[in-house]
Structure 1
Amino acid sequence: MRRKDIVCTEFAFTLPKGLVDTQNRVHRQGVMRLATALDEILLQKERKVQENSAYGILVILSRVITRLGSLTSVSPNLLEGLLVSDLAYLREFYNRVNQQGNTHIPTECPHCNTKFSVELELAGES
């Protein structure tokens, strides 16, 4: 019997500053799932994205963030309130998990050539 690799599709993150909601609560801990083809397709259909392509990151993040603090629903309008440092963090985190499928990078010891993987921490992760 051959063992199948288990693919992780959700990743926890911690924002550097946190999103402040309308009740003045700060949300820093969150979960992001991998993006799907449908996420990318629906992104192109969004009117705000057609009018301003820069808005696309807010739309795609609102689709893939499954939890942010006590929020279980995240809209592009809500994400408009992110500080630039948190938006940059989420953009990098999104790219990392969707391009590599994990938060680890392969590396090699320069002295003994042993290969291993290291989990990268972005600013704000704890």
Structure 2
Amino acid sequence: MELQTMYPFRLPRGYVDVEGTLHREGQMRLATAGDELSALRDPRVKADESYMNPLILSKVITMLGTLPEVTPEVIEGLFIADMEFLQDMYDTINKAEKPQIQVTCPHCGKQFVDTINFQGAG
């Protein structure tokens, strides 16, 4: 089984560049710890924490229409509906799946998959 790291998308409204070209089709990759760490070190984020989301999105969106690159300024120029769409997508694809394990019931011998609870029972 191969891990999917790139996810295509289509913006609800689309980004309109300075020439009036509409860009809707794009691609987002999974985020890395480095993406978030470098964003935390950015002076714009230190000055205003709300800048974290546009900065990270500009790192993980690898393509948007025919734009040569996706910069934080491009993200700032998105319509609110598109920004919310991309934030939801980011959260969805980067959310950790709960770890599971194949187990066998000691009483009946039946095998099943169970979720691992690292915080203990209770």
On whether the aligned pair clears a TM of 0.5, the verdict is yes
Check 1:54–1:85 CA distance in 2 against 1; reply closer, same or farther (3 A cut).
same
| Larger relative contact order (Cα-Cα within 8 Å, sequence gap ≥ 6) | 1
Identity %: 39
List gaps (5 residues or longer) in structure 2. Answer: 98-122
Q: Distance in 2 between matches of 1:100 and 1:71?
A: 30
Q: Does 1:81 align with 2:83?
A: no
- The structural deviation recorded for 1:22 is 1.1
- Within the candidate set 48, 51, 54, 2:47 is matched to 51
- Within the candidate set 24, 27, 52, 1:31 is matched to 27
Q: Distance in 2 between matches of 1:84 and 1:100?
A: 26
- Within the candidate set 89, 92, 114, 1:93 is matched to 89
Who wins on radius of gyration, i.e. which is larger? Answer: 2
1:1-126 matched pairs, under 5 angstroms:
5-100=1-96
Q: Distance in 2 between matches of 1:72 and 1:24?
A: 15
Q: Distance in 2 between matches of 1:75 and 1:98?
A: 20
Q: Distance in 1 between matches of 2:5 and 2:96?
A: 11
Q: Distance in 2 between matches of 1:72 and 1:35?
A: 20
SS in 2 for 1:17: strand
- The structural deviation recorded for 1:100 is 4.9
How many equivalent residue pairs? Answer: 97
SS in 1 for 2:95: helix
**Amino acid in the other structure paired with 1:69:** G
Q: Distance in 2 between matches of 1:19 and 1:72?
A: 13
**Native 8 Å contact 1:31 1:68 kept in 2:** yes
Q: Distance in 2 between matches of 1:7 and 1:58?
A: 25
Please report the RMSD computed on the Cα atoms of aligned residues, expressed in angstroms.
1.2
